[in-house]
Amino acid sequence: MSVSGKVYLVGAGPGRLAYLTVRGQQLLQQAEVLIHDALVGVELRSLIASTCQQFDVGKRGGKPSTPQAEINQLLVTQCQQGKQVVRLKSGDPFVFGRTPQEIQALKAANCAFEVVPGLSSALAAPLLAGIPLTDPVLSRSFTVLTGHDLDLLNWQLLAGLETLVILMGTRTLADISRRLIKQGKHPETPIALIRWASQPQQQIWQGTLLNIGQLTKAEKLSPCVMVIGEVVRLREFLQMEDVRSAVAQPPLAAQTVLVTRSSGQSSQFSDLLAAQGAKIIEMPALEIRPPTSWAPLDQAIAELASFNWLILTSANAVSYFFERIHDQGKDARSLAGVKIAVVGKKTAAVLRQQGLQPDFIPPDYVADALVAAFPEAVSGLKLLFPRVESGGREVLVKALTAQGAEVTEVPAYESGCPQQIEPAAIAALQQHQVTVITFASSKTVHHACQLLAQTLGDRWRHWLEGVCIASIGPQTSQACYEHFGRVDAEAQEYTLEGLTQAIEQWVQGSDR
């Protein structure tokens, strides 16, 4: 730990290591704490040391986000602990970000900070698509805006400008086109949409204000940069060799992966796969919700001081447990004197977001290993185990109880099957586009089969012929064998990173 803490607010650029500043790279390699946005990919995070704490505080439209006040406090808290903190923000810190608010919080707490520039996607994306933002004839200036709060913008003025660059506008694309045409912009004005600029999975759509909505109707567009203006036509003459061809073809470039994680938890895994070039289709087979009753958990929280250990075997358990603690006006200090055991890297990372370090993580990232490697004799100890309300495995509780521990199980959350399957997933299966389907828990296997059967009928297994069945670990694989009779790829390390690696190895082995 450093003698005095400091926060570095660093621009990550468009997300590729090749376009990160030298200063940014140095700071990432020295960071003790990394607090990053949703669009900051694994390539940049690979620079950090294994001992660096990571906090994902990304905001994505339409999905649960970390409140800005919590991010501000996290920066202050980590800095006051004497840490060297990197707040890694996509693009440039001062372009449509909340950096000024974070700086105000740091200054109010007398925390040292430094702002490091980054290459904004407003500049990088058009360049990488071969679109010049200025031209002596077609565009003597350009304007950058966001697609949020459209009613606050002067559309009559914007319609008269030569070149517009719009960030975060995919959800309002139709409205943007309509407003510009209404204010006099010619319907045939060229527009380009650049998704995942600089990344291996970069995509570009080109059309006009009139037809761009139809051209992209079935596409997932976010995260995307829009360029509107006559300069888009110059792309035909100026585009360089596809930026993706300048690097080795990513290992999953030809794969379409069906992800069955719950809708609120799929983004991290999807980002991991997308970073390796895969096309992602989400088919949530799990729905996370509160338990039937909070009473048992509330009672356990009231008696926290009487427990020796808190056992947390999933990120959901951490989130719901601490949400309930906060709802009761308490915080992490309530756990003073209570040791914490967690299963898995993800669970540990979510716990660290609460400002706490686990006292024990079993080496194999599975609940069974927790018993075998527990750091002390459990006989006579009181263990609190907040867990899923139904459907969880009983092996852990039975093994600890057999060794003399007093285990208090309390429901912290429930997981169930969604009511219906995503239409895009069904279409992809029926058109034989899917090459891999992934399962990160036994429940996702059971629920996915239930959803497929009720949607596709008795021949649902037919649609998975030739599709790689990828499992995160032995228990999930057991469920796969039960339903499919096979497992084609199983993670050696029972994490999302391990599952991604297993899929890559399957691709290499199958020579796809």
Catalytic residue among 1, 6, 56, 59: 59
Look up tokens 């609460």; give the residue.
Answer: 354
Sheet with strand 489-490: strands edge to edge: 279-282, 256-259, 436-439, 468-471, 489-490
Residue with tokens 């057991």: 478
Q: In one letter, which amino acid is 279? A: K
Q: Strand 287-289 to strand 406-416: parallel, antiparallel, or no bridges (unpaired)?
A: antiparallel
Round to whole Å and give the CA distance between 343 and 338: 17
Q: For residues 10 and 382, what is the distance between their CA atoms, to the nearest angstrom?
A: 45
* Whole-number Å distance between alpha carbons of 308 and 303: 11
Active site residue 168: yes
The yes-or-no answer on residue 443 being catalytic is: no
Question: Pairing between strand 143-146 and 309-312?
Answer: unpaired
383, 309 Cβ separation under 8 angstroms: yes
Contacts of 113 (CB under 8 A, 6+ apart): 6, 7, 8, 9, 79, 103, 106, 107
Alpha-carbon distance of 34 to 10, in angstroms, equals 10
Active-site entry in 1, 63, 83, 168: 168
Respond yes or no on whether the N-terminal peptide bond of residue 223 is cis (omega within 30° of 0). Answer: yes
Task: Give the sheet arrangement for strand 224-228, strand by strand.
Answer: 143-146, 164-167, 224-228, 190-195, 203-208
- Residues contacting 503, CB < 8 A, separation 6+: 252, 255, 257, 273, 436, 438, 468, 470, 489
- Tally of helices (H runs) and strands (E runs) in the chain: 19, 20
Tokens of 497: 């990173």
Question: What b-and-e string marks burial along 218-253, b requiring 16 or more CB atoms within 10 Å of the CB?
Answer: eeebebbbbbbbebbebbeeeeeeebbeeeeebbbe
Token pair 């992800």: residue: 259
The vertex-18 CA angle with 16 and 23, nearest 5°, equals 100
Q: Which helix (H) or strand (E) holds 215?
A: helix 212-215
DSSP 3-state of 177: helix
Containing 273, the helix (H) or strand (E) segment is helix 266-275
Q: What are phi and psi of 480, to 5 degrees?
A: -65, -45
Residues labelled catalytic: 37, 59, 168
